[in-house]
Amino acid sequence: MKLLVTGGAGFIGSNFVHHILNKYPDYKIVNFDSLTYAGNLENLKDLEGNKNYEFVKGDIVNPEDVAKAVKGVDLIVNFAAESHVDRSILSPADFIRTNVLGTQVLLEIAKENDIRFHHVSTDEVFGDLGPSDPPFNEDTPYDPSSPYSASKASADHLVRAYVRTFGLKATISNCSNNYGPYQFPEKLHGLFITNLMEDKKIPVYGDGLQIRDWLYVEDHCKAIDMIIHKGKIGETYCIGGDAEKTNLEITKKILELMGEDESKIEHVKDRPGHDVRYAIDFTKIKNELGWEPEVNFEEGMKKTVEWYKENQVWWKAVRDGSYEDYYNKQYK
């Protein structure tokens, strides 16, 4: 099988590329990425020279770029997205361009070439939950709160429209918050861990009582693996980590693992329109495909902290933009 993985140099995409090539040594992967700030080929440096791996620089909004990359491809797995909520508040247009228009370009080319399509989405399309509300599931109505989640909701609807109108062979997954190796250090785990390593404060939004369901990235990759091999065409699958924690709980766990105390916490002004709670009911994928998370919260947190400690050269260069400049010069 030959896969086109869009956004394969990003956090989840690069973990997925590693997972697939480790599990299926005969598969071929084309990693298609525009190498924006969050796309980093250092995440995949160990694959250089692998005959089953190829990198192609391109933009999913550009049909010519995509058309060249899909030759001989059996499956497109779409990770390519602008994904940081704070950035979407500052610049919504960038999110509409990549997440909506880019997805439509991919869908059109998948339709024209009869290529199976899997779209990776987020639980944020559902809005937020009250303290006693049941977790999100595949039937939860969409109610996005931010420009980011609205753009992802739009992309999800486009995928469903292409399935219904054109008979495209496609599936969707909506996952909870990921964490683990190679995550850009603007997100909670990476930011807090790296700040502490540089003896800086860690900024907690508001009271820190916002609740998220945390999913270790390797478990997410295994879920997508199951969906693309065993999932039913036209279906959506919710992927959760079974680990609802407040941001403050995550903060305190990081402090504990880093040997620091709560004096390092700095409460800052809350994000506009900040969702209160996310939680995922993954009953469907568990019952139909046999997936459930394998890495529990304690183990995942320890592995994540250790990874950032052991990869300081990586995150410092990513944060400073060194890798971005280097690879963009190589792949003009």
Contact 238, 138 (CB under 8 A): yes
Please tell me which residue in 33, 42, 123, 225 is annotated as part of the active site. Answer: 123
d(CA 314, CA 78): 25
Please tell me which residue in 53, 148, 179, 182 is annotated as part of the active site. Answer: 148
Angle (nearest 5°) at CA 233 between 230 and 239: 60
Q: What pLDDT band is residue 192 in, cutting at 50, 70 and 90?
A: very high
Domains: count for the chain: 1
Asked if residue 303 belongs to a domain, the reply is: no
- 288 Cβ partners below 8 Å, 6+ apart? 231, 232, 237
Range of the domain at 129: 2-184+214-243+279-296
Asked if residue 208 belongs to a domain, the reply is: no
Nearest to 271 by CA among 147, 134, 109: 147
d(CA 180, CA 216): 6
- 38 has a pLDDT exceeding 90: no
- 102 Cβ partners below 8 Å, 6+ apart? 59, 60, 61, 80
Work out the average pLDDT over 71-81: 97
- 324 has a pLDDT exceeding 80: no
d(CA 297, CA 304): 10
Asked if residue 238 belongs to a domain, the reply is: yes
- 110 Cβ partners below 8 Å, 6+ apart? 70, 76, 116, 117, 162, 168, 170
**CATH assignment of the domain containing 95:** 3.40.50.720
Q: What pLDDT band is residue 326 in, cutting at 50, 70 and 90?
A: very low
Asked if residue 113 belongs to a domain, the reply is: yes
Mean pLDDT for the chain overall: 93
Q: What pLDDT band is residue 85 in, cutting at 50, 70 and 90?
A: confident
Asked if residue 164 belongs to a domain, the reply is: yes
- 329 has a pLDDT exceeding 70: no
Work out the average pLDDT over 19-34: 97
Q: Say if strands 170-175 and 116-122 run parallel, antiparallel, or are unpaired.
A: parallel
pTM (2 d.p.): 0.93
Asked if residue 128 belongs to a domain, the reply is: yes
d(CA 158, CA 78): 13
pLDDT in tens, 246-267: 999 999 999 999 999 999 999 9
Residue 33: active-site member:
no
Three-state DSSP class for 171? strand
- 200 Cβ partners below 8 Å, 6+ apart? none
The DSSP H or E segment spanning 268 is strand 265-268
d(CA 132, CA 269): 26
Please tell me which residue in 42, 124, 281, 324 is annotated as part of the active site. Answer: 124
Residue 207: active-site member:
no
Q: Which amino acid is at 179?
A: Y
Residue 123: active-site member:
yes
Asked if residue 193 belongs to a domain, the reply is: no
Asked if residue 189 belongs to a domain, the reply is: no
